[in-house]
Amino acid sequence: MTQAQFSSLNLPQSMLDNLKQIGYNDMTPIQAASLPEIIAGQDLIAKAKTGSGKTAAFGIGALTKLEPRNYKVQLLVLCPTRELATQVSKELRRLARFQPNVKILAICGGQPIGPQIGSLQHGAHVVVGTPGRIKDHLRKGTLNLSALKTLVLDEADRMLEMGFNPDIRDIAAQTPRDRQTLLFSATYPDGIRDLSNDFQNNPVEVSVEAQP
């Protein structure tokens, strides 16, 4: 079977060139299944294992929708741990190189809040973070999500296991209703179904069990 190529998608040539530079030629199965839907603006609930390429699936879709001239947070990615948020922010920075001047911040708990407030004041297009700390910034008024286009819940089952359900709900409630919501999870316990029902609009369901 021939693998699906990124060039079959409706992406800017600069993004396609960047993917080639990174060394991504073929889409992984989760990318092939989800990117056309994400690019079309659909909400998505996706089941896929670790290492399947989920970051680029939501990253490519959301980064091509950013308006770099608008220095407001347009993409928020919630992750269960600081380690995962750091990984995701690194991958998004690589993917964002096709577009100059895109500012990506990692905002996690267990780190001093002062420097985070300073960075947020300077303006950012993308925030990747852990739910507790993101909620702290919303409460303080140091993060504003009124211009958000895309909300990503990454490893959502792990976030629920860690007790982040109320924080995720509080955060989602402070974003525009017309946002795109992308939910990634390795398993679908009831809590995931409830989150999807409450915060997604007609989500397309994608399930990829095989490793790339």
CB nearer to Mg ion: pick between 54 and 137: 54
Minimum CB–partner distance for residue 122 and ligand ADP (Å): 27
Q: Which of 121, 124, 88, 92 is nearest to 105 (CA)?
A: 124
Q: Does the footprint of ligand ADP cover residue 141 (CB under 6 A)?
A: no
Torsion sign over Cα 207, 77, 100, 97: negative
Angular region, 6: left φ>0, alpha ψ -120 to 50, beta rest? alpha
* Distances from the Cα of 66 to the Cα of 63, 89, 204, angstroms: 5, 15, 22
* Residue type present at position 140: K
27 is a contact residue toward ligand ADP (CB under 6 A): yes
Stretch of 48-56, 61-69, 126-134, 189-197 contacting Mg ion, by CB under 5 A: 48-56
Does 28 bind ligand ADP (CB under 6 A)? Our answer is: yes
Task: Considering only residues 31 through 50, tell me which ones interact with ligand ADP, judged by CB under 6 A.
Answer: 31, 48, 50
Q: Which residues pair with 151 in a beta bridge?
A: 76, 181
Per rule CB under 5 A, count of chain residues that contact Mg ion: 1
Three-state SS for 47? strand
- Sole window of 4-12, 49-57, 169-177, 191-199 interacting with Mg ion (rule: CB under 5 A): 49-57
Span of 7-15, 26-34, 169-177, 187-195 interacting with ligand ADP by CB under 6 A: 26-34
Strands 75-78 and 150-153: parallel
Q: From ligand ADP, Mg ion, none, which one binds at residue 51 (CB under 5 to 8 Å depending on kind)?
A: ligand ADP
Residues that bind Mg ion (CB under 5 A): 54
